[in-house]
Amino acid sequence: MSELFPMSHADLCTIAVKWLKRDFSKRGPGCDVAVSEVKTGYTGEVPDAIGWRRKDDGMDGSVVVEVKVSRADFLADSKKRHRHEGGVGCWRYYMCPEGLIGVDELPVGWGLLWVNKRGHIKPQAGPIAHRHHGPYSKSLNEYRHDTDHGREQFILVKLLSRLGDVEEMNNRLKEAHREQNRLAKRCNGLVQEINDMRHRRFNDLIDGMPRRRDAGGAA
């Protein structure tokens, strides 16, 4: 890279993955899972970064970030087959050095993320360019693409297969969840016991206090 922008394509892919997992309150899409440069099949698209989020009201789905560090790379991108048919990502963004790509150059339905020399992201277009939840939610429908679910599934299965025996992991998680519930129930029971003991102790102290005498001297 030039001295004007010292970060490489790989650097921006790393920034893209971190941004995909960033919460909306911090100007990110809030993905639960995000990875960089994973093939969508034995041939075809390799997104620079892709993430998935679990949300309600039409906000769930995948987000793709395509990193461009040169004008030539950006211009060549429009010639790729998956830019015209298919392709992954319910929402799609280009990420580039600040000023490299203009908003008026974007394909329909794409967002734009500029990255300055310090690595800070400056949203220029797309749903995330809206700071408030209302306009953001509305723009999600406007920018949403029909994604290739089969290729996205390929990515997810490939990633899960690398983790080893997924069912064994699933069983361990279920057992941990059951143990967590058991301990939480036990803790709640102990809290109740402590409160009961305090209540009884308080009543014993009240009962043990000498009674006040009335004005006539009677107890």
Over pLDDT 70: what percentage of the chain?
93
What integer best gives the mean pLDDT of the chain?
89
70-121 pLDDT tens trace: 999 999 999 998 998 889 999 999 999 999 999 999 999 999 999 999 999 9
- From residue 6, give the alpha-carbon distance in Å to each of 9, 21, 94: 10, 24, 19
In the numeric block, which tokens belong to residue 103?
């908003």
Kindly tell me if the per-residue pLDDT of 213 is higher than 90.
Answer: no
pTM for the structure as a whole: 0.78
What is the longest distance spanned by two Cα atoms in the chain? 105
Give the residue-averaged pLDDT of 11-18: 97
133-174 pLDDT tens trace: 888 888 998 999 999 999 999 999 999 998 888 888 888 888
How many CB atoms are located within 10 Å of the residue 10 CB?
13
The separation between the first and the last C-alpha atoms of the chain, rounded to the nearest angstrom, is 94
Please report the pLDDT score of residue 131 as a whole number.
77
Q: How far is CA 55 from the centre of its chain?
A: 10
Kindly tell me if the per-residue pLDDT of 215 is higher than 80.
Answer: no
Please report the pLDDT score of residue 212 as a whole number.
60
If you count them, how many residues does the chain have? 219
Kindly tell me if the per-residue pLDDT of 217 is higher than 70.
Answer: no
Kindly tell me if the per-residue pLDDT of 1 is higher than 50.
Answer: no
Q: Where are the domains of the chain?
A: 9-161, 164-208
219 in Cβ contact with 211 (< 8 Å): yes
Q: How far is CA 161 from the centre of its chain?
A: 22
Beta strands in the chain (DSSP E): 33-36, 49-53, 61-67, 91-97, 110-115, 121-125
Report the C-alpha gap between 206 and 97 in whole angstroms. Answer: 74
56-79 pLDDT tens trace: 666 889 999 999 999 999 999 999
Please report the pLDDT score of residue 216 as a whole number.
53
